[in-house]
Chain A
Amino acid sequence: GQNIDQPTEMTATEGAIVQINCTYQTSGFNGLFWYQQHAGEAPTFLSYNVLDGLEEKGRFSSFLSRSKGYSYLLLKELQMKDSASYLCAVIDSNYQLIWGAGTKLIIKP
């Protein structure tokens, strides 16, 4: 079966750095997305990785290792508004999206 694993919940301090991991086992791989979802709102797109390596976008970076079936989202200089759930999703060989259950990130002052 296809599976994506993310930690259920993480806590970090305002101004710090946090890394949210995602491991996947899917039938094929055609890319990986990270989404942010604030409570009561829709998911919004953060990043897309299809090749190995790091993609940087401001305070957020996303890393991919296809051989290890592993990605992480790195958030720097954390702000209170970064409190949200972060969803990892993989595009499989049929171009269907497989979603992780999401990681709830709690930022403390």
Chain B
Amino acid sequence: IAGITQAPTSQILAAGRRMTLRCTQDMRHNAMYWYRQDLGLGLRLIHYSNTAGTTGKGEVPDGYSVSRANTDDFPLTLASAVPSQTSVYFCASRDSDNSPLHFGNGTRLTVT
């Protein structure tokens, strides 16, 4: 089934540890996004990539990095996790500027 796969589904992480959230899509979409969703704040954009080889910063990029080596994969790395990064992380992609976003099932991350 075509779509976006995120891994892991959930994770408990000690503060200070490094963590990579994985995201893979098989729809050949050019644009990919990482959001975090916190209660009462809605979706906030962390980083995005308009096409393979390019990335950009969103609204809340500090403490996160991304790479886009190919069209399908868009991993999100927390270099040194802090408790404020406890959140649900969604990866998304879209075909063109006016197309709706397709979301992965999310990663629930708890930093202790």
Looking across the interface, which residue of chain A has its beta carbon closest to that of B94?
A97
Q: Number of A-B pairs whose CB atoms are under 8 Å?
A: 42
Interface residue? B105 (CB, 8 A): yes
Give the complex CA separation of A77 and B101 in angstroms. Answer: 27
Interface residue range, chain B: 10 to 19
* Complex contact B100–A42 (CB within 8 A): no
Give the complex CA separation of A43 and B100 in angstroms. Answer: 11
The one of A42, A91, A96 that contacts B106, using a Cβ cutoff of 8 Å: A42
| Chain A residues in 8 Å Cβ range of B42 | 87, 99-102
* Residues of A that sit less than 8 Å from B by CB: 8, 30-31, 33, 35, 41-45, 48, 50, 87, 91, 95-97, 99-102
* Residues of B that sit less than 8 Å from A by CB: 40-45, 90, 97-98, 100-106
